[in-house]
Structure 1
Amino acid sequence: MIIHDIDPVAFSLGDFKVHWYGITYLVGFALAWWLGNVRARQPGSDWNAEQVSDIIFYAAVGVIAGGRLGYMLFYNPFLPAGEASQFWEVWKGGMSFHGGLIGVLGAMWLFGRRYQKSFFQVADFVAPLVPLGLGAGRIGNYINGELWGKVSDVPWAIVFPSGGPLPRHPSMLYEFFLEGLVLFALLWWFSKKAPPRMAISGLFLLGYGGFRFLVEFVREPDRQLGYLAFDWFTMGQALSLPMIAGGGALMWWAYRSAGKTAHIN
């Protein structure tokens, strides 16, 4: 039996504690910056190093502010007013991907206005940079011992002290693999095929939404919410359905528009 026993504090400097969760976010942003520069150096790219650094900064602000606000609104809407200061305690976990996505969408729009780039020019460039950062965040969830899955007897089930004495699916590691590694490989490969505008963004939404919807079947729902319907439908699935639909629609429209252009030419 595997028992989770990891200190969420990486090290301390006097009274100042550095948490692994924060480090994983820094790793995620660093990987996005590095991958962005790799993409910017590719033939035909209209991006430069300064723009890559700026979009990573914009996105980081969007991720943190949107992710935390999304968690408070989607997953913890009944927090007493006297505990509102918890909004800033990001080192304890409690970040919503869907809220972070909304924050990043706003950041990309602002960035596009500054550099005269269309929204989907920015979104298609950024999408392949995101999954490894998501994966790093899931490792942070694992170190924190949070967002564990349902009770299970699979050989790799883990006992999380915050989840009781029974072994559970390490659902955050499933998400690390699917939303992080698999989605990154898929988007990086697809982006090299010179797909039409909007297609990369569509594949990101479709891929993440689909993977998240599947993992939710073995992930324990947030205690304060429980299941929304049918004793299996969770908030994560409810928020992922629009991503799946939107991603499919974007890909359809991208290839339909590309086909029309080719026919006219």
Structure 2
Amino acid sequence: MLPLLSIHWNPDPVIIDFGVFALRYYGLLWIVGLALAYFIVRRQYRDRRIGDDKFEPLFFYCFFGILIGARLGHCIFYDWAYYKDHFVEMILPFKQTAEGWKMTGYTGLASHGGTLGLIIALWLYCRKTRMHYMDVLDMIAVATPITACCIRLANLMNSEIIGKPADVPWAFVFERVDMLPRHPAQLYEAIAYFLFFIGMVWLYKRARTYHRGFYFGLCLTEIFVFRFFIEFLKENQVDFENGMTLNMGQWLSVPFILIGIYFMCFYGRNNATAR
């Protein structure tokens, strides 16, 4: 029996289909999330009086770092059994079907891989611009939660990463999956990340000087602690997780939580960030 107030959810993930190309909510929300982060970080660069010549390459590094890391993270950690025999599909946004190759976009992206890819890309960026690595990580960290929020809204529009069956009045029935009322886990995460973003901006606007690495550590800690616990309300994404005490998302969250706590509480306490 469905809860009285359950929400039937079945939006078309395609906004406009141009034939050879389709504009999807997933891609659009990714672009919105990155664009918001772009303007937020640009404002921080100007606050610190850092020239545009150093800011301009940043988006390139962030975009490809996140995309490559998120794609490889999904393929390696969640679906290696398939992609080890379909290497081209891992790299290119195409899938081999009975009718031939079809452009599908990247149908699997993992946030843990995206985070690692971003960290590596920013290291390369800092080598080129000679900026302090932790200063850049701190600025990116302020904007990261709003991008994460948009990505989870994209998952919601795709009816993916669904929650476990629930009898709460706000349960969603993801009709593309089944007719069971479930926790809207994607929406829980989107709301949490939006609140984290408001908190980060509030801390930044207070104009208080924190030690280098504080925002980076806070961002990792709050996002991946929440991610660890929200996984208990989610369905496992792949079959091999069914026999695990903690699922893959939780195991991958643990090192990020430990790194976050270290940078938030211990790293660089005698080396304040200039504001």
Match of 1:117 among 128, 131, 154: 131
Quote the residue 2:100 is aligned against: none
Quote the residue 2:99 is aligned against: none
CA distance in structure 1 between the aligned counterparts of 2:223 and 2:173, rounded to whole angstroms: 27
Q: Does 1:3 align with 2:11?
A: no
- How far apart are 1:250 and its partner, in Å? 1.3
Quote the residue 2:142 is aligned against: 128
- How far apart are 1:17 and its partner, in Å? 1.0
- How far apart are 1:255 and its partner, in Å? 6.1
Map of 1:170-181 to 2, 5 A cutoff? 170-179=184-193, 181=194
Alpha-carbon contact 2:236-2:242 (below 8 Å) kept: yes
Gaps of 5+ in 1: 260-265
Quote the residue 2:219 is aligned against: 204
Alpha-carbon contact 2:78-2:238 (below 8 Å) kept: no
| Residue identity opposite 1:202 in structure 2 | G
Q: Normalising by the residue count of structure 1, what TM-score does the alignment of the two structures yield? A: 0.89
Aligned residues: percent identity?
A: 31
- How far apart are 1:148 and its partner, in Å? 0.5
Q: Does 1:250 align with 2:263?
A: yes
The CA RMSD over aligned residues, in Å, is: 1.9
Inter-CA distance 254–92: structure 2 relative to 1 (3 Å threshold)? closer
CA distance in structure 2 between the aligned counterparts of 1:81 and 1:258, rounded to whole angstroms: 45
Secondary structure of the structure 2 residue equivalent to 1:104 = helix
| Residue identity opposite 1:167 in structure 2 | P
- How far apart are 1:92 and its partner, in Å? 5.3
Inter-CA distance 120–132: structure 2 relative to 1 (3 Å threshold)? same
Structure 1 residue ranges, 4+ long, deviating more than 6 angstroms after superposition = none
Secondary structure of the structure 1 residue equivalent to 2:17 = strand
Map of 1:113-262 to 2, 5 A cutoff? 113-179=127-193, 181-191=194-204, 192-227=207-242, 229-230=244-245, 233-254=246-267, 256-258=269-271
Alpha-carbon contact 1:19-1:91 (below 8 Å) kept: no
Secondary structure of the structure 2 residue equivalent to 1:147 = coil
Alpha-carbon contact 1:147-1:172 (below 8 Å) kept: yes
- How far apart are 1:16 and its partner, in Å? 1.6
Alpha-carbon contact 2:61-2:121 (below 8 Å) kept: yes
Quote the residue 1:49 is aligned against: 52
Which string of whole-angstrom CA distances, capped at 9 and with x for unpartnered residues, describes residues 232-255 of structure 1?
x11111111111111111122236
Secondary structure of the structure 2 residue equivalent to 1:254 = coil
Which structure carries more relative contact order (alpha carbon 8 Å, separation 6+)? 2
| Residue identity opposite 1:194 in structure 2 | T
Match of 1:74 among 62, 72, 77: 77
CA distance in structure 1 between the aligned counterparts of 2:131 and 2:242, rounded to whole angstroms: 41
Q: Normalising by the residue count of structure 2, what TM-score does the alignment of the two structures yield? A: 0.86
| Residue identity opposite 2:232 in structure 1 | F
Alpha-carbon contact 1:21-1:93 (below 8 Å) kept: no
Inter-CA distance 164–79: structure 2 relative to 1 (3 Å threshold)? same
Quote the residue 1:263 is aligned against: none
- How far apart are 1:46 and its partner, in Å? 4.2
- How far apart are 1:47 and its partner, in Å? 2.3
Alpha-carbon contact 2:29-2:151 (below 8 Å) kept: yes
Inter-CA distance 217–120: structure 2 relative to 1 (3 Å threshold)? same
- How far apart are 1:48 and its partner, in Å? 3.0
